Chains A and B, each alone.
Chain A
């Protein structure tokens, strides 16, 4: 059994993340308790919806400092990945500031509809234990209207009228812009490698 705490802060699709982890045999705790999160072996920060609302919830629950101070593996999912960066266009909000850069709105144009909604291929940019053993250019399921800045933290990209950081990592903090819990085999693989990261 693996212990993983999924932060349930009222701004995330926690049930589907929980079920995906349980399909992999993990023991999942849904929690908004700063002490439980601070002592967890691994943490997943999900997120659906608006960045400002999510940051407000984390603030209200006293979770910002425990997340920033966390030293074991943490995975942000979708909005949870975006929250790892410094700031966002969305509501002009300061974020957790764990990875440099500003989250920008995707602008529609040509065939690029926004939200970016659907299955796009992942192109690995650099090796990381999280993506070890992942298929070449697998499809993953994306749903988002804002995108993280492409930079040194990018581990894998999707192409959507421009590069979209799909997996990012800096120190113990990692994120997926796509939804691994809804990305069939590739998503299950990412969650499995996350559960196996040394904690």
Chain B
């Protein structure tokens, strides 16, 4: 089978990695290329780069920067941020990205998912979903990079991930917004439900604060990978230590 993936997520603004709490109040965490190289050396299985301001500002990301990262890394990476056409996704892939992740533009125009899958194959197409508990359901939010333009997407999370898979998504990254940045653990209930709805890989995002949270999400939600940001950026959790802990707990990881 596959080893469970540990995936540092780098929210990038102007070449710098930033981190906020529940997507607000961003703090500078360092140079994107430097952090990427550090995570590569520490044993990260994959990296995700989100240009967090691209989608709300209606622009796409910087392809030269994608190329610089591609030159540096010998592990896969995914890029996201304002990708709203086959042409834009193609330029990311041409410049060395392995996957593209679409979020708000896919909500606006769901046909985008199928267009990307037809052209590049499902394995290149990740759909990122920002989900929050509202009343008795999990619902999708969009434009979460910018609190001023954030709004409800008017969809149930479980319906949307099923639709995204049917349209050709090759992977879902489920960001549980209530958990994001607060380090209280992944939303294993929501992720387990999402896992049961999908036959494509699911990656957990939002809430990692301790090594045990990674063990919990693999055990309880059977996700393929777990994404985290601030615990890695601050050095609170070292990837090598995390993997040793997971391996000691019986989780298959690449060491």
Count residues on chain B whose CB falls below 8 Å from chain A CBs: 36
Main secondary structure on A side of the interface with B: mixed
Q: Report chain B residues within 8 Å CB of A120.
A: 1-3
**Other-chain residue from A19, A117, A145, A179 in contact with B2 (beta carbon distance below 8 A):** A117
**Other-chain residue from B98, B118, B200, B222 in contact with A13 (beta carbon distance below 8 A):** B98
Give the residue name and chain of the A residue nearest to B77 (CB). A182
Q: Report chain B residues within 8 Å CB of A187.
A: 74
**Other-chain residue from B98, B121, B170, B225 in contact with A182 (beta carbon distance below 8 A):** B98
- Cα-based distance from A118 to B78 in the complex (angstroms): 13
Contacting pair B76 A179 (CB below 8 A): yes
Contacting pair B96 A144 (CB below 8 A): no
Q: Is B219 an interface residue (CB 8 A)?
A: no
Give the residue name and chain of the B residue nearest to A183 (CB). B74
Contacting pair B123 A184 (CB below 8 A): no
Main secondary structure on B side of the interface with A: loop
Contacting pair B123 A188 (CB below 8 A): no
**Other-chain residue from A15, A22, A144 in contact with B94 (beta carbon distance below 8 A):** A15
- Cα-based distance from A14 to B127 in the complex (angstroms): 23
**Closest-CB distance, A120 to chain B (whole angstroms):** 5
Q: Report chain B residues within 8 Å CB of A115.
A: 122-123, 170-171, 200-201
Contacting pair A108 B222 (CB below 8 A): no
Contacting pair B70 A15 (CB below 8 A): yes
Q: Is B75 an interface residue (CB 8 A)?
A: yes
Q: Mark A91-129, 1 if CB is under 8 A from B, else 0.
A: 000000000000000001001111111111000000000
Q: Is B120 an interface residue (CB 8 A)?
A: yes
Contacting pair A113 B120 (CB below 8 A): no
* Residues of A9-46 whose CB lies within 8 A of B: 13-16, 19-20, 22-23
- Cα-based distance from A111 to B67 in the complex (angstroms): 34
**Other-chain residue from A113, A142, A184 in contact with B199 (beta carbon distance below 8 A):** A113
Q: Report chain A residues within 8 Å CB of B174.
A: none
Contacting pair B93 A114 (CB below 8 A): no
Q: Mark B67-96, 1 if CB is under 8 A from A, else 0.
A: 100110111100000000000000001111
Contacting pair B98 A118 (CB below 8 A): no
**Other-chain residue from A49, A113, A116 in contact with B121 (beta carbon distance below 8 A):** A49
Contacting pair B96 A118 (CB below 8 A): no
Q: Report chain A residues within 8 Å CB of B96.
A: 13, 15-16, 19
Contacting pair A142 B74 (CB below 8 A): no
Contacting pair A49 B124 (CB below 8 A): yes
Q: Mark A149-171, 1 if CB is under 8 A from B, else 0.
A: 00000000001110000000000
Take A48-B120, A182-B74 as given contacts and tell me if A116 and B94 are in contact as well, using a CB distance cutoff of 8 Å.
no
* Residues of B35-80 whose CB lies within 8 A of A: 45, 67, 70-71, 73-76
- Cα-based distance from A13 to B71 in the complex (angstroms): 13
A sample of 20 cross-chain residue pairs with beta-carbon separation below 8 angstroms, ordered by A number, consists of: A13-B94, A15-B70, A16-B70, A16-B96, A48-B93, A48-B121, A53-B119, A108-B199, A114-B200, A117-B170, A118-B2, A118-B225, A141-B75, A141-B76, A143-B170, A145-B121, A145-B123, A161-B1, A179-B98, A187-B74
Given contacts A49-B121, A118-B225, A184-B74, 17 further A-B contacts (CB under 8 A): A16-B98, A20-B74, A48-B123, A50-B121, A108-B200, A113-B198, A113-B199, A113-B202, A117-B123, A118-B3, A118-B45, A118-B224, A141-B75, A141-B76, A143-B123, A160-B1, A182-B74
Closest 4 pairs (CB-CB, A-B):
A118-B2, A108-B199, A15-B96, A49-B121
